[in-house]
Structure 1
Amino acid sequence: MKYRNAQDIFPEALLKQIQRYVSGETIYIPAGNGKRSWGETSGYQQFIRERNAAIKADFEAGKTIDDLMEKYCLSYDSIKRIVYSKKEVSMLKYSATLESAKAYAEAEKLDAWIHLYLNEEGRNIPFSDGLKKCDRYYFSPALVPLKFFKRCSGPEPEMKYRVDALWWDHKLGELKKTIEATPDFVNKCAPMFVEYTGGEFVLNDGNHRLQAYKDLGYEKAWVLFWITEEDEYQDFLKKYGEYVKDCVVIRK
């Protein structure tokens, strides 16, 4: 287990609060989601590889696509892509970058990249689990005006997901420093995740980035859209189709 100095991690005000309870001692901070089950974090890629191999083996043994849909609880299009695909997830190099997301999308494996990203270091496991509950439409990253989006997380009272103001400011400040110090950061960083539902955009992942981009004067950033309902998918295309006309779209 790696030892880290709390003074190098926490903002001064938060550190003083912690020191009210413990000072000068080594403490263990457990992961926020407890013990991870099989298939999470980096193990998800192994799970995808083994599942796809099993599906292909069953298909070659004579099972129909309908049989496989029932056995593996996947859609027709998902099974078809797996059994006829020549490029496996194992051949792709994952990283939390725009380039990697685009590569997975071109191989029609965007859902695998999404779950790898969300499970990496426990970034947002509950969100990943929720996406797996039913098929969704996923668009490969698109460069979209930031004016369309607003935060749902932050220290403000109206935010759906409230966070400590000191911690928010600390993370936002560090992110701005990174963006300013990294040439072409917006074209390298992973895309933000946005759901389109009820005719509105909901920013699921990337609240700090959105605020940092706006504060630093950026007008556009890369976004990965996802939609659940067919009617909302059609509505999205009607209103915003020009921004995703070159995107790869999958439903999984």
Structure 2
Amino acid sequence: MKGETMGYRNAREIFPEGLLRQIQRYVSGETIYIPSGNERKAWGETSGYQRYIRERNESIRRDFAEGESIENLMDKYALSYDSIKRIVYNRKETAMLKYSATLSSAKAYAEAGKLDVWIHLYLNEEGRNIPFSDGLKLFDRYYISPALFPISLFKRCTGPEPEMKYQIHPEWWAHQIAELEKNIQKDDDMPPLIVHYVDGEFELNDGNHRHKAYENLGIKDAWVIIWITEKEELDDFMDKYGDYVKDCRIIQR
């Protein structure tokens, strides 16, 4: 970093154990600034701290965009999960876009070439599916903006049936589906399903409950985001299903 730099010392080398425990009650894994007793200027003005924070955050966002997981960034920059998440999903970076867990929001992000940003925001929202989000960032992927597909193409992997990979108690499943059916009937802006195309088949990654609710309501088609890893698989997908996405954007991240 050009210009002023900051030196760092491990807090365990400076503070008594008792005082360190007190500090950790308020902050853990963060970088804190302790002003000198005679400092008169605005906080961070002389130290270059504000510049450091800006450059650090830019570095974190760059690492994240290049595939670093949140857990790795936590270790690399000694920050908490919430701090890293706040930095990499800072919505000021996409000020003209308003995120929401809706189809219209996903379409807006896709039109701006930021469909992957919407996906990660959606998967990280309230801890919906953080491991899936982190897994997507391990490699470059092709993301196809929302398109209408017949839901008959997709098979659930979640439900009360014994063959399901992720089983849910029948009573709880029935309750969730019933609530979703009500929401779908009064809201036409439900988030798209997220589906992986691999080895010539579709994997329904997110939206298993909605898929079942759509079936129960007699809905034949649903909005879907398709993601693909290999170029050969993208070519195969386009050969077989290209008509469904002929007006869609495809981005690679």
Aligned position for 1:121 = 126
Aligned position for 1:98 = 103
Name the aligned partner's letter for residue 97 of structure 1. Answer: T
When Rg is computed on C-alpha atoms for both structures, the one with the higher figure is 2
The within-5 A match list for 1:5-16 is none
Which SS does the other structure have where 1:105 is aligned? Answer: helix
**Structure of higher RCO (CA pairs closer than 8 Å, 6+ residues apart):** 1
Q: Does 1:147 align with 2:152?
A: yes
Aligned residues, how many?
174
Aligned position for 1:191 = 192
Aligned position for 1:7 = none
Residues 45 and 89 of structure 1 are in contact (CA less than 8 Å); yes or no, is this contact kept in structure 2? Answer: no
Which SS does the other structure have where 1:211 is aligned? Answer: helix
When the two structures are superposed, what TM-score results if normalisation uses the length of structure 1?
0.66
- Deviation per residue, 1:5-62 (Å, 9 max, x gap): xxxxxxxxxxxxxxxxxxxxxxxxxxxxxx845333x65421x86xxxxxxxxxxxxx
When the two structures are superposed, what TM-score results if normalisation uses the length of structure 2?
0.66
Q: Tell me the percent identity.
A: 60
2:82, 2:145 → 1: CA distance? Answer: 28
1:106, 1:92 → 2: CA distance? Answer: 10
Name the aligned partner's letter for residue 249 of structure 2. Answer: V
- Deviation per residue, 1:206-243 (Å, 9 max, x gap): 00000000110001010000001111111000000000
Structure 1 segments of 4+ aligned residues over 6 angstroms from their partners: none
Aligned position for 1:216 = 217
Residues 184 and 190 of structure 2 are in contact (CA less than 8 Å); yes or no, is this contact kept in structure 1? Answer: no
Aligned position for 1:45 = 89
2:148, 2:122 → 1: CA distance? Answer: 19
2:239, 2:169 → 1: CA distance? Answer: 39
Computed over aligned residues only, the root mean square deviation of the Cα atoms, in angstroms, reads 1.6
Pair 1:116–1:151, CA change in 2 (3 A): same
Which SS does the other structure have where 1:141 is aligned? Answer: strand
Residues 44 and 115 of structure 1 are in contact (CA less than 8 Å); yes or no, is this contact kept in structure 2? Answer: no
Which runs of 5 or more structure 2 residues have no equivalent in the other structure? 1-79
2:183, 2:127 → 1: CA distance? Answer: 21
